[in-house]
Structure 1
Amino acid sequence: MIMNRGLKQVGTSMFLVFLSGSLWAQEKAPKLTVDLDKAIEIALSENPTIKVADMEITRKDYAKRETIGNLFPKIGASADYSYALKKQVMYMDFDMSSFMPGGTEGSTTEMQGMDDGMEVGRDNTLTMGFNLQLPIIAPSLWKSVKLSKADIEQSLESARSSRLSLVNQVEKAYYSVLMANDSYNVIKQSYDNAKLNAANYENKYKQGSASEYDVLRSQVQVRNLEPSLLQSENAVSLSKMQLKVLLGLEMSVDLDVANTLSDYEKTMYTETLSIDTTLTNNTSLRQLDLQTDYLKRALEVQKMSWYPTLSATAMYNWLDMFNNGKYGDSHWNPYSTIGLSLSIPIFQGGTRYYKVKQAKVSVASMAYQRQNLHRNLSMQVQSSIDNIQKSIKQIASNSEGVKQAEKAYMIMQKSFEIGSATFVELNDADLALTNSKLAYYQAIYDYLAARSELDLILGNRVFPDSSVK
């Protein structure tokens, strides 16, 4: 008995320690309250997608420098060793008798040896030195430098596209948090009203002025609202987690938003009137134009393969030859050369010709792709404008509906308190108020989502980062 009591005390102490540690961890969790601009700023600086896009720009810049490096001299060092399994034989086609000792009469044997050839060189050969090569005329290489610049421009626009897409995602996630918060508040208010009505009925039942059926019905209404309340709480938590992921924040951060959906109703009319619907800054069109420019420059590179190339060469080497076991008798002999190397392409089986043809077809097809893309984007812009206008009209109507529903509920609440209205009528008024508020917030969310989609299509946002234009 004593042992069990001691174990219970130890278990209770451990539970209290764990509970206090959990509470301390919750108290120490960092809290961050952001508005939309702050959320976008954090996302653009912390989101891994943007960092990867910026690293791609850096990689393409290194590739351009690599191409430029081909215009500079190339200097290398080399060393070679060879062993002669059989030496080369040299023959002389002129009379060597005058060069032989003893005159012509005493050199018959030596001359016969000359007719059989004379071995040249030694068994071992060592060569080491330096070489230099410098392109002087290289049309294809010059065009490749401009091609690398066009590649960097495509990476810059791709990074801008990633930023626009991220801003769109952050805006939608932020609006989702606002929608979840406002929906939770509406349902929570309805739940609190139901609890208050249930408490009133219970008091009336105790006083004998209400039936048990009325008490049970009011309590059932409270129970029916609890799943919706829990679902709205989960929606708030999930929307905040999605926003944290986009902002690159840890899940332990206590994130909160600084706005409500109704805050955006004040400025939506002036913002809608100032919308510029031109597609000049659309990132898809700009990427297609840059890709077309890249293909044109690639076509120029292909054409340059028909031109000759000229390069300067220089070499300074040392040569040593010796027989086996006689390295000490060797001598290092330097020699050097300078020259020009001209390469003239004449015929390669038609490969260059058909490469140029392929490049021309690719450039021509881009014009049709751009035409089709422009039409689709124009349709999307018009659709977004229609959705925005429809949402604005719906907001105005729902806003008036909320005012009427609130007034109707207040009248029904007073009537219920004095006994001239039934619980069913009060419940209907509360349900109508809840639905009108949810519809009102949904209309504002639809407007903000449509506006965000339009901003993504137009691409008019200017980023402070100078690396992305």
Structure 2
Amino acid sequence: GVSWQGAGEQRFGSLTLGDLGFGGQPSYYFSNYNLGLNFSLDWAKLKRPSQARAQRGATVAQIRVAGTNLASGVTNAYLDLLRQQEGLRLAEQQLENSRFNLRLAQGQLEVGQVTPIDVGQAEVQVGRSEVTELQARNALSTSRIRVLQQLGLPVNQDFELSTVFEISEPMWTLEELTDLALRQNPTLEATRRSKESADIGVSSARSSYMPSLSISTGWSGFTRQASSTDFQVAQAEAQVAGAVAQCVQTNNLYLRLADPLPSLDCSRFVFTDSQRRSITDQNSAFPFNFEGSPPSVSLGISIPIFQGLSRERNLEAARLQRDDLGYQVLEQELALDADLSVGIADVRTAYQSALLEERNRALADQQLNLARERYRLNAITFVELVDAQTVLAQADQARLFAVYAYHDTVTSLEALVGSSLRN
């Protein structure tokens, strides 16, 4: 720091420097430095690095949870887009079948084998198929928008589907999936990390019962320089003059004695030029020629005795948080075990259902082809032909539902495990 003090009289209570014989003080320049080091140590500070690492691990795990949820959301949206795309294909196929039946009915009417009622029923069937196709097209457009929304892209951006999801027989075992999930499930990992941080929090809360150590040390220095040395020179000259006067007075006393003593040499009291230069040299300390102060070191130990009930309250709160997170970990592990058991059973059921629905669809297609041939031969009515087409449409929808039910259950299982299960 740097400071300045102006010239003039200073007062100390009811007296001034002039009253004390120090009048005519010059202005002064001051500079100083102070360097201090403080170190304190307690149990809570020792645990802070560990707690920070645990909190960072919990944060990273939460980020992984968000990433897993995003991946699951994008996968579900993509699967729904594939489902709607396949649904549109089936709707277009159903519309084409309805139009084929209409042409077939019109041909039968021309040769007089059916009545106009059959043609009217065929036209109604075409209209219904057109409505179904329109709704499927709208559902596909909505699904595309949802995919772009999940990806954070503009809803008017065009894209092509490149990934194809195949159905494969699930070969995983419950034991290997459980082991994988207990190690990789992001939600469980985040809760475990939070539990670790809470454990350290309990240890930190106990530190309020433990002593703390503090050490401090410091170095300081200062300078002082007068704006003029006239005052110091005058003081030094006055001191020399006073010494000469004292010497003369002493000699006078010696002469008055009955047995006079030898006189003192008063010529030795002289203010020299070297003394003047010394005063001038000593007045050139400002601003960096510091005069160091003695260093200091202090050591303190603080032992907490009574702090109200805050320590007990904080410790119990930390314990409750730790115990709650411990129960959450146990709950999630049990839920994970149950969800995996149900999930793997659902995947196997969905796989078998998809195979059965594929067979049912092939049989329904054969029945429709047979019904058309019989209708050409006038062996069945148009209503029976429509029934066969309805059975095929239902089989197509059932197969579509079964296939994507399989993909949905696999996606749910992947979210539980925390990694991809598809080849």
Tell me whether the two structures share a fold, i.e. TM-score over 0.5. yes
Instruction: Report what 2:198 is aligned to.
Output: 295
Q: Which of 50, 54, 73 is matched with 1:169 structurally?
A: 73
Q: Mapping of 1:183-194 within 5 angstroms?
A: 183-194=87-98
1:426 paired residue among 385, 388, 397: 385
* 2:102 equivalent in structure 1: 198
Q: Which runs of 5+ in 2 are unaligned?
A: 228-282
- Normalising to structure 1: TM-score of the pair? 0.65
For 1:389, the equivalent position in structure 2 comes to 348
Name which of 345, 352, 361 aligns with 1:402.
361
Secondary structure at the counterpart of residue 303 of structure 2: coil
- Out of 154, 165, 182, the residue aligned to residue 280 of structure 1 is 182
Q: Distance in 2 between matches of 1:312 and 1:411?
A: 100
Contact in 1 for aligned 2:174/2:340 (Cα 8 Å): no
Matched, 1:459 2:363: no
Structural RMSD (CA) = 3.9
Partner of 1:361: 320
Deviations 1:141-168 (A, max 9, x none): 3321222111111122112212221221
In the TM superposition, residue 232 of structure 1 has moved relative to its aligned partner by: 0.8
Q: CA deviation at 1:238?
A: 1.6
- Whole-angstrom distance in 2 between the partners of 1:247 and 1:451: 21
Q: Percent identity?
A: 18
> Secondary structure of the residue that 1:268 maps to in structure 2?
coil
Aligned residue in 2 for 1:344: 301
Asked if structure 2 preserves the Cα contact closer than 8 Å seen for 1:129 and 1:317, the reply is: yes
2:115 to 208, 211, 233: 211
Question: Conserved in 1, the CA contact under 8 Å of 2:414 and 2:420?
Answer: yes
1:372 counterpart letter in structure 2: E
Q: Find 1:151's aligned residue among 55, 65, 70.
A: 55
The equivalent of 2:218 in structure 1 is: 314
Q: In structure 2, which of residues 170, 179, 187 is the aligned counterpart of residue 269 of structure 1?
A: 170
Which residue does 1:465 correspond to in 2? Answer: none
Change in Cα spacing, 1:334 to 1:304, as seen in structure 2 (3 Å) is: farther
Q: Which residue in 2 is equivalent to 1:52?
A: none
Map of 1:334 onto structure 2: 290
For 1:227 and 1:335, the matched residues in 2 are separated by 99
Name which of 369, 373, 382 aligns with 1:414: 373
TM-score by length of 2: 0.71
- SS of residue paired to 1:135: strand
Code of the residue aligned with 1:280 in structure 2: it is L
Partner of 1:375: helix, strand, or coil?
Answer: helix
Q: Note if contact 2:170-2:347 (Cα within 8 Å) is conserved in structure 1.
A: no
User: Which amino acid is the alignment partner of residue 252 of structure 1?
Assistant: N
CA distance in 2 between counterparts of 1:420 and 1:320 reads 126
Question: 328, 332, 338: which is aligned to 1:373?
Answer: 332
In structure 2, distance between residues paired with 1:130 and 1:203: 110
Q: Structure 1 CA distance, aligned partners of 2:190 and 2:119?
A: 67
Q: Which shifted more, 167-176 or 128-137? A: 128-137
Contact map agreement 2:360 2:395 (CA 8 A) in 1: yes
Q: Which one has a bigger Cα radius of gyration?
A: 2
CA–CA separation in structure 1 for the residues paired with 2:113 and 2:173: 56
Distance 1:128 1:329, change over 3 A: closer
Could you tell me whether the CA contact under 8 Å between 1:139 and 1:309 is conserved in 2?
A: no
Counterpart check, 1:222 vs 2:178: no
| Secondary structure at 2:60 match in 1 | helix
Once the two structures are superposed, what CA deviation does each residue of 1:433-463 show, in whole Å capped at 9, x if it has no partner? 111111112112112212211221222459x
**Unaligned ranges ≥5, structure 1:** 1-78, 92-108, 463-469
CA offset digits 1:401-442 (Å, max 9, x no partner) = 112111111111211233222221111111111111111121
CA distance 1:128–1:183, shift in 2 (3 Å): farther
| AA aligned opposite 1:394 | S
Distance 2:315 2:216 in 1: 29
How far apart, CA to CA, are the structure 1 residues paired with 2:173 and 2:354? 14
1:69 is matched with which residue?
Answer: none
State how many pairs are aligned: 357
2: CA distance, partners of 1:81 / 1:227: 92
* CA gap 1:214/1:320 in 2 versus in 1, 3 angstroms: farther
**More RCO (CA 8 Å, sep 6+):** 2
* Paired residue secondary structure (2:302): coil
Distance of 1:297 and 1:233 partners within structure 2: 57
What is residue 64 of structure 2 aligned with on the other side? 160
